[in-house]
Structure 1
């Protein structure tokens, strides 16, 4: 038995920033590797321009790497922090893609399944962010405490 949910308008319309007026044959596979990279760069650019949380994660990630270099973490420790930052940014990109496809599918009207899809995508970002915070904390805090103690002696 199917029940129709009331259609409610979204609280605010999604912000769409066109990166290129038209993208000919966007439904086809990119003909060259260079074109694939160009499309990927357009996705990164779109996320950076329109997604506040993506920009926050880029800033925090750059801060974590900079602090790691300053505290002279090992190459492996920096690589681990870099991988966790990459995971968070990848989750943000997937979240943006899922939200866009859901909005396209439901034409920005309310639907409970659309809400579930968006909430789960956002939860994936949250889980990866918490994991990245824990990793950075375990690697950065001990050396940061040693550095602060050395300043006071």
Structure 2
């Protein structure tokens, strides 16, 4: 069984890990234009979700879609930083790695768009008839 001081050390290490993760998100938000766009889109989707009073299962799909896009964008940012570190000059393979990582973001963003259209599309279509 772990001693009391060791338990506190483990808790502090776990808390520090969360701090590093939050710092990573903050750094990406301040340096990546695309991530700021995703932040605005997330705020808009959440606002629409409250406006349309989404069902729990719809919120789950929206949350998964938003989380997937954010995760892909953060991983893309990490790949770009690593590639820039190890290959400061242009190299065909470095460009390929960056393009593939950006392609992953595109695929996830298109899937999230499909989720958004399926959930919000009919509601928005119906709303247009009221104006």
Deviating beyond 3 angstroms after TM superposition, the runs of 4 or more aligned structure 1 residues are none
Give the secondary-structure state (helix, strand or coil) at the position aligned to 1:77.
helix
- Taking structure 2 as the reference length, the TM-score comes to 0.87
Query: Superposed, which structure 2 residues align to 1:84-123 within 5 Å?
Result: 84-106=65-87, 108-123=88-103
> 2:27 & 2:83 partners in 1: Cα distance?
17
Aligned to 2:107: 127
* Structure 1 unaligned residues grouped into runs of 5+: 1-30
In the alignment of these two chains, the number of paired residues is: 120
Query: Superposed, which structure 2 residues align to 1:2-151 within 5 Å?
Result: 32-106=13-87, 108-149=88-129, 151=130
Hey, which of these two has a bigger chunk of helix by percent?
2
* Structure 2 unaligned residues grouped into runs of 5+: 1-11
Checking the alignment, whether the CA contact within 8 Å between 1:65 and 1:82 is kept in structure 2 is no
Checking the alignment, whether the CA contact within 8 Å between 1:95 and 1:122 is kept in structure 2 is yes
